[in-house]
Amino acid sequence: MKNVKVAIADDHTMFRSGLAMILNDMEGIKVVIEATDGKDLIAKLRGTKVNLVFLDYRMPEMNGITAARIIRESYADLRILMLSSYDEEEIIMSSFASGVNGFLTKGDNPAEIAIAIESVMTTGYYFNDRTSKLAIINMTAQNKITPRFDFGSAEVKLSAEEIMVIRLLAKELSTREIAGIMLKSERTVDAYRAKIMKKTGTKNLAGIIMYGVKYGIIEV
């Protein structure tokens, strides 16, 4: 990642400053705006070039949901990551309905934050593997998220086993459970999953699920 300019909106000064410090230590990333709430953020966005916004879900004056909707109307290409102390499905669903590109909990570590930034900047979305697969399926099917898949110009050719793995992953099954159903070893299932990610250009399990929905592998 190069020259990613970031804005942070959070009413807790200690958390906001700590996140800014973490982000500024990442190569190619610079925090250019710190705001106390959504209203303050929108005012500071005028005239300042920003690529990515971190939004707190709950803030005074203007919360993250309202701010995300306004930002999405005015800055179509701006990436938005919603932040919350909780990863309840209702919070995640309402966040994506407001137009955000990804969701992080405030307890996520710097490595996860870096993955989230890379994902939203390159693919347009980010989910972690804790996110309900049903929620991902529904949001993809309803076009609440529009993921991009970087697999070049060649047509993706998945084997019957790889297609089966995608469908079983969508059912929230573990690697061990999938191995039992397919009569394969867990190592073999992991290898199928790695091949699927390589072929489709996906970053994690959430990406595999969205690919499956978009290309009709997973029935909605």
Q: Distance between CA atoms of 187 and 169, rounded to whole angstroms?
A: 15
Structural class in CATH, domain 129-220? mainly alpha
What DSSP letter does each residue of 154-203 carry, written as one string? SPP---HHHHHHHHHHTTT--HHHHHHHHT--HHHHHHHHHHHHHHHT--
Average pLDDT on 1-29 reads 93
Structure tokens at 185: 């070893």
Q: How confident is the model at residue 219 (pLDDT cuts 50, 70, 90)?
A: confident
Is 4-126 a domain of CATH 3.40.50.2300? yes
- Please give the pLDDT value at position 34: 96
Least confident of 97-101, 112-116, 201-205, 211-215: 201-205
Query: What does the DSSP 8-state code read for residue 127?
Result: -
- Residue 60: which H helix or E strand, with range? none
Tokens 């690697």 identify what position?
A: 175
% of the chain at pLDDT higher than 70 = 97
Q: Distance between CA atoms of 46 and 35, rounded to whole angstroms?
A: 13
Average pLDDT on 144-170 reads 82
pLDDT in tens, 37-94: 999 999 999 989 999 999 999 999 899 999 999 999 999 889 999 999 887 878 888 8
Average pLDDT on 171-181 reads 94
Residues forming a β-bridge with 105: 84
- Higher-pLDDT residue of 124 and 158 is 158
pLDDT of residue 152 exceeding 60, the answer is: no
Domain boundaries, the chain: 4-126, 129-220
What DSSP letter does each residue of 73-123 carry, written as one string? HH-TT-EEEEEES---HHHHHHHHHTT-SEEEETT--HHHHHHHHHHHHHT
